């Protein structure tokens, strides 16, 4: 997959950075001339992934979240969000809708379900004690000129 552009962003796992992260990543992809719906989908998926890092990976601590956004020649928006937090022992279980380890905080347990709904592909790799990496891709379709 030929990469035509890339940005890398490192943020601290603070709630106040959630908005910045989703706006920064989604605005990078405006180069692909996406629809408002496509941009909102990306924003929502990034918001979920970054929130997971803050709420779960770096629970009760602050760590760094590493974000890579890429545009490929075949118009894919590629997003990688990586943390060096607690990791997930059972990724399959964590991805089940409504599963949450933080019910008291009114987390709905739908973060991964939202990512899977709003992006074309979501891949999660994790190792307990080492961290989690989420790679998400979405094809941005060329818009027809309605002239």
Partner 1 sequence: MVRIESKNENLYAYLSGEIDHASSQSMREEIDFEVEKYHPQKLYLDFKGVTFMDSSGIGLVMGRYKQMEPIGGEVHVVNTSSHIKKVMSLSGLDRLVTLE
Q: Is residue 144 annotated as part of the catalytic site, yes or no?
A: no
Q: Which is nearer to partner 1, 47 or 126 (CB)?
A: 47
Question: What phi and psi values does residue 42 have, to the nearest 5 degrees?
Answer: -65, -45
- H or E stretch at 8: strand 3-12
| Inter-helix orientation angle 36-52/111-118, to 10° | 150
Residue 53 and residue 47: Cα distance in Å, rounded? 10
Q: Would you say how long the chain is, in residues?
A: 147
Active-site residue identified among 18, 22, 38, 52: 52
Q: Which is nearer to partner 1, 16 or 145 (CB)?
A: 16
Chain residues in the site for partner 1 (CB under 8 A) = 15-16, 18-19, 22, 37, 40, 43-44, 47-48, 51, 54-55, 97-98, 105-108, 110-111, 113-114, 117
Residue 89 and residue 10: Cα distance in Å, rounded? 25
Q: How far is the CB of 32 from partner 1 (least distance, A)?
A: 19
Q: How far is the CB of 30 from partner 1 (least distance, A)?
A: 16
Active-site residue identified among 18, 22, 38, 48: 48
Q: Which is nearer to partner 1, 87 or 109 (CB)?
A: 109
Q: Is residue 141 annotated as part of the catalytic site, yes or no?
A: no
Residue 138 and residue 34: Cα distance in Å, rounded? 11
Q: Is residue 52 annotated as part of the catalytic site, yes or no?
A: yes
Residues with catalytic roles: 48, 52, 107
């Amino acid at each position: 997959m030929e990469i035509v552009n890339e940005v890398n962003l490192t943020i601290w796992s603070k709630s106040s950075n959630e908005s910045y992260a989703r706006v920064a990543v989604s605005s990078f992809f405006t180069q692909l001339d996406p629809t408002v719906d496509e941009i909102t989908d990306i924003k929502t998926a990034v918001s979920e992934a970054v929130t997971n890092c803050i709420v779960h990976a770096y629970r009760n601590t602050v760590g760094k979240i590493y974000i890579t956004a890429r545009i490929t020649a075949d118009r894919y928006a590629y997003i990688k969000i990586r943390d060096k937090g607690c990791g997930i022992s059972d990724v399959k279980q964590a991805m089940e809708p409504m599963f949450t380890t933080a019910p008291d905080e009114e987390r709905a347990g739908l973060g991964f379900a939202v990512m899977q709904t709003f992006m074309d592909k979501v891949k999660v790799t994790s190792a307990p004690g080492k961290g989690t990496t989420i790679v998400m891709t979405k094809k941005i379709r060329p818009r027809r000129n309605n002239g």
